[in-house]
Amino acid sequence: CFGELIDTMIKIRNQSMRFVKIPKVLFDLLVRFLMDPMFPRIINWQQYQLLFEDNIAEAKSAEKILGRSMTSTKEFFINEFANAAN
């Protein structure tokens, strides 16, 4: 869950954060007419649209390719947040 990830980041970094809600329609315009044409290597319109699609594949197929069972990414983010705090 995204909220749990943010809570973990705040705890590890030991900093408060202030969030500003931006309407999606405004962000859509920003990405489509500024980011995509000027900075397509950062994110383009198609990549942005894919962020809102379900990207969970069949776990069994992924496990067969990886040769191991799927695991949580929670430890990865905990390590990344801890390293960012230094």
Tell me which amino acid residue 1 is. Answer: C
Rounded to the nearest 10 degrees, the angle between the axes of helix 74-85 and helix 2-13 is: 30
Q: Are 2 and 70 in contact (CB under 8 A)?
A: no
Each residue's pLDDT tens digit, 6-16: 888 888 888 77
Q: How far apart are CA 18 and CA 28, in angstroms?
A: 22
Q: Structure tokens of 72?
A: 């949580």
Residue 56: the pLDDT is: 64
Using CB atoms within 10 Å of the CB of residue 78, give its burial: 0 to 12 exposed, 13 to 18 middle, 19+ buried.
middle
Average pLDDT, the chain: 84
Average pLDDT over residues 71-85: 81
Quote the distance between the C-alpha of residue 40 and its chain's center.
18
Task: Say whether 54 sits in a helix, a strand or coil.
Answer: coil
Residue 16: the pLDDT is: 78
pTM of the model: 0.51
